[in-house]
Amino acid sequence: MQAHSPENPMSPPYLNGLNPPQREAVETLDGPVLVLAGAGTGKTRALTARLAHILMTGRAYPNQILAVTFTNKAAGEMRERVSALLGGQPVEGWWLGTFHALAARMLRRHAELVGLTSAFTIIDDDDQVRLLKQLMEQENIDTKKWAPRAMMGIISRWKDRARLPSDLPPHEGGEAAGGKLVQLYAQYQARLKAVNACDFGDLLLHMVCILRDPKHADVLADWQRRFRYIMVDEYQDTNIAQYMWLRLLAQRDGAAANICCVGDDDQSIYGWRGAEVGNILRFEQDFPGAKIIRLEQNYRSTGHILAAASGVIAHNEDRLGKTLWADADDGEKVAVRGLWDGPAEARFVAEEIEALQTKGWSLDQIAVLVRAGFQTREFEERFNALGIPHKIVGGQRFYERAEIRDALAYLRVIAQPRDDLALERIINVPKRGLGDVAMKTVVTHARARNLSLYDAIADIVETDELKPKPRDTFRRLIADFERWRGLLATMAHTELTAQMLDESGYMAMWQADQSPDAPGRIENLRELVTGMAEFESLPDFLEHVSLVMENQSRNDTAQVTIMTLHGAKGLEFDCVFLPGWEDGLFPSQRSMDENGLKGLEEERRLAYVGITRARKRAIISYVSNRLTYGNWVNALPSRFVDELPEDHIEVAAESGVYGAGRSSHWDSSGFGGSSRAATMAQTPVVATQTLAMRQSLSDHPYVRGDRVRHDTFGAGTVVNVDGAKLDIAFDKGGHKRVMDSFVVPLEE
């Protein structure tokens, strides 16, 4: 990192190389401080230098500093860095770690105040679900309808907000667990205390309860006196319980202690798991007289990339405000590419990567960052076809995901009923009430007669070997498979798969699941159906999957990284591809429907994070048509594309593709050698859609309040007009953004 000002030969070594705002963050030790650290601005260096400075100036001993990180890895790295800054001497006795680790350390000293002993056990996720399931069964609550893991997720979210059972109205959980979820929460907490245990949420919850209880004012005062300095990293990601714990510790004698929080409100992207961006936004209100220090000099990206990211995030209203800049040259403008459809987008990205590779770019420094996990399939397929080494980071490859393996197992049994491994995988998925006794009876019969599991079931249901209930269940299952197999002769394999997922109850199982990852699993299943359309038959598709799985062995060569935008936070690459920038996909329609403006602003912060992962090149792409669940769906460029500042982007789109209000053309050379003719020849051309996309953007007949009808979404009311785009509140389809040419006036 370059120094921003001449070095002072008398400065300690750990201050050398810091720019003025970084140095100010290190040396401002008295009172509350908020360091707004933009992406790539060297905040880790400033944070570790601040810790070293406190120790070297004798302001505090290590055990008088509370330093909070979000991961154990970050805590370990901070410990090593501070030790290195202090000449390699170890730093012992300090309070450095994650929220949960530090809270657990405190709780062991005061466990008796919440009915535990200091030897309490911390149970893991599986034990939590198992315990809750036992309690649900005791209350005769249907654990098939109300999945214990989903119910545990709701309880955990209550704990993240520091809410005890006594803080909740009896019916706070709505219909969840038959309206008894608050009651179950209370029973769950009582059971944990009875066995001297707590879960991860309890670590902070119990400490918050102790520290805010007037009966234990002496405990709070003791901890407040102990910590002379409090430092918190990634403050924008704190939840309510973490926030309350910090505030309690940071208030002393009615005044704010020496608390320094480091974070970036523009990178708060974890609202779905409890993070509250409001914690960092109201820092000055929580700690009057706080000093705000902005780290805005970026050491990662080029000028055009930073300007593009800043242009997008400036549209958020709830932010403290900062503008990133760099001493580096402007570099290449951010490329914005409009493609006809998903396959064309995957071809474009793959060919661009091949072109970069021929120019000497390392695949390790190239990333494809998607908004949703289902998007990875088309890129995986294309990279496999071209032999481009790649890896999925933070998740499994598409065909390795549990829900995809389950769906494939159903399809394998349809295609080949004697596939025992496939049938064993899904015979009780979703739950069909087939117990160990019934399964053992079938397996014993199969082995005795040397039959496949399928044939053994078909055989045994005609006897009285099984009790009536499992016999009927097995009979219906075999009948389903026989019917689906028969439909292969008259129905497209994509339609059959969609029907099978519905009739088997597998899709309904995930639709009823309230866990955070359930919507993503449903999207993956829909993408599976979409991907099958590329193959002539079910056997062709299953053979393709088998070959893909066989070829996905470990590869030690340089690889392109494919991952979600959420997983990419904190990482950086020379070149970043950002596909799927379409309204409804990004920003996510589900996020906007569930959280309104707050959800939209978090999606915009995600766009900011994505762009700022790039050092040298950022390529954004969108398509006009996506094949979704076997149906072609019109797509509009993301509103974030329109928010990119024109001076810092270079826009091009295929013929007939909506150009986001800017000039749309392909230059004569194409991009990375891609063939426009090949692209258009391999994708369906819908004449009415193409004409609509070419219509004038300035002449439209609709105003706010008009009633209109859309072929897909039905009737709705126009709530906003943005050029040719209409924001419509559909009567049954929620809020959508569509082109005005795809609706007609509704006469009522």
| 39 labeled binding residue | yes
pLDDT of 733 higher than 90: no
* Residue at 309 is within a domain: no
In the predicted model, what is the mean pLDDT of residues 631-644? 88
* Residue at 316 is within a domain: no
For residues 665 and 569, state if they share a domain. yes
The token pair at 452 is: 């496949």
pLDDT given at position 663:
39
Highest mean pLDDT: which range of 24-28, 80-84, 563-567, 721-725: 24-28
| 42 labeled binding residue | yes
User: How far is C-alpha 369 from the chain's CA centre?
Assistant: 11
For residues 210 and 335, state if they share a domain. no
* Residue at 115 is within a domain: no
**Among all residues, which ones are annotated catalytic?**
43-44, 233-234, 267, 613
Inter-residue contact 123 to 198 (CB < 8 Å):
yes
* Dihedral pair phi/psi, residue 171, rounded to 5°: -110, 30
Inter-residue contact 686 to 652 (CB < 8 Å):
no
Q: Give 64 or 459, the one with higher predicted confidence.
A: 64
For residues 488 and 614, state if they share a domain. no
Q: Give 364 or 439, the one with higher predicted confidence.
A: 364
pLDDT given at position 678:
33
* Residue at 550 is within a domain: no
Here the CATH number for the domain that contains residue 603 is: 3.40.50.300
The token pair at 131 is: 């315990």
For residues 422 and 517, state if they share a domain. yes
The CA distance from 102 to 203, in Å, is: 9
Q: How many distinct structural domains can be found in the chain? A: 5
pLDDT given at position 694:
29
Q: Give 726 or 603, the one with higher predicted confidence.
A: 603
Least confident of 15-29, 500-514, 658-672, 684-698: 684-698
For residues 496 and 617, state if they share a domain. no
The strand ranges marked E within 572-690 are 573-578, 614-628, 631-634, 649-653
The CA distance from 210 to 114, in Å, is: 8
- Split at pLDDT 50, 70, 90, the class of 737 is confident
pLDDT given at position 434:
84
In the predicted model, what is the mean pLDDT of residues 77-101? 81
pLDDT given at position 76:
79
pLDDT given at position 551:
52
Q: Which of 694, 718, 733 lies at the terminal end of a domain, its last residue?
A: 694
pLDDT of 231 higher than 70: yes
pTM, whole model, 2 decimals? 0.73
Here the CATH number for the domain that contains residue 440 is: 1.10.486.10
| 359 labeled binding residue | no
Least confident of 319-328, 417-426, 483-492, 705-714: 705-714
- Split at pLDDT 50, 70, 90, the class of 673 is very low
pLDDT given at position 700:
54
Torsion of CA 89, 93, 96, 97, to 10 degrees: 110
Alpha-helical (H) ranges within 506-663 are 506-512, 518-532, 538-551, 565-568, 589-611, 639-642
| 67 labeled binding residue | no
* Residue at 2 is within a domain: no
Domain encompassing residue 596: 331-393+559-694
pLDDT given at position 256:
63
For residues 338 and 445, state if they share a domain. no
Least confident of 306-310, 647-651, 680-684, 739-743: 680-684
Nearest CA-CA partner of 40 in 697, 506, 616 = 616
Nearest CA-CA partner of 129 in 114, 144, 111, 147 = 147
In the predicted model, what is the mean pLDDT of residues 707-724? 82
**pLDDT digits 0-9 by tens, 132-158:** 999 999 999 988 888 898 899 999 999
- Split at pLDDT 50, 70, 90, the class of 212 is very high
pLDDT given at position 108:
92
Q: Which residues contact 165 (CB under 8 A, 6 or more apart)?
A: 182, 183, 185, 186, 189
pLDDT given at position 688:
30
pLDDT of 301 higher than 60: yes
pLDDT given at position 693:
34
Burial 526-544 (b: 16+ CB within 10 A, else e): bbbbbbbeebeebeebbeb
In the predicted model, what is the mean pLDDT of residues 473-502? 90
pLDDT given at position 740:
74
In the predicted model, what is the mean pLDDT of residues 251-268? 83
Burial 601-633 (b: 16+ CB within 10 A, else e): bbbbbbbbbbbbbbbbbbbbbbbbbbbbbeeee
pLDDT of 692 higher than 60: no
Inter-residue contact 422 to 405 (CB < 8 Å):
no
For residues 620 and 683, state if they share a domain. yes
**pLDDT digits 0-9 by tens, 355-414:** 999 999 999 999 999 998 889 889 988 998 888 998 888 767 788 888 999 999 999 999
For residues 78 and 227, state if they share a domain. yes
Q: Which of 195, 221, 251 lies at the terminal end of a domain, its last residue?
A: 195
* Residue at 615 is within a domain: yes
pLDDT of 265 higher than 80: yes
- Split at pLDDT 50, 70, 90, the class of 546 is confident
For residues 87 and 210, state if they share a domain. yes
Q: How many percent of the chain have pLDDT more than 90?
A: 43
For residues 446 and 371, state if they share a domain. no
pLDDT given at position 691:
28
**pLDDT digits 0-9 by tens, 551-590:** 554 456 889 999 999 989 888 999 999 999 999 999 998 8
pLDDT of 421 higher than 50: yes
Q: What's the mean per-residue pLDDT of the chain?
A: 84
For residues 388 and 406, state if they share a domain. no
pLDDT given at position 29:
93
Highest mean pLDDT: which range of 232-246, 447-461, 519-533: 232-246
Q: What Rg, from alpha-carbon coordinates, does the chain have?
A: 29
| 616 labeled binding residue | no
* Residue at 111 is within a domain: no
Q: Which residues pair with 653 in a beta bridge?
A: 338
pLDDT given at position 50:
93
- Split at pLDDT 50, 70, 90, the class of 255 is low
Q: Under the phi-then-psi rule, with left for phi > 0, alpha for psi from -120 to 50, and beta for the rest, what region is 680?
A: alpha
Q: Which of 545, 577, 593 lies at the terminal end of a domain, its last residue?
A: 545
pLDDT given at position 160:
94
The CA distance from 740 to 13, in Å, is: 62
In the predicted model, what is the mean pLDDT of residues 48-74? 89
* Residue at 739 is within a domain: yes
Highest mean pLDDT: which range of 263-272, 308-317, 385-394: 308-317
| 435 labeled binding residue | no
For residues 209 and 86, state if they share a domain. yes
pLDDT of 687 higher than 50: no
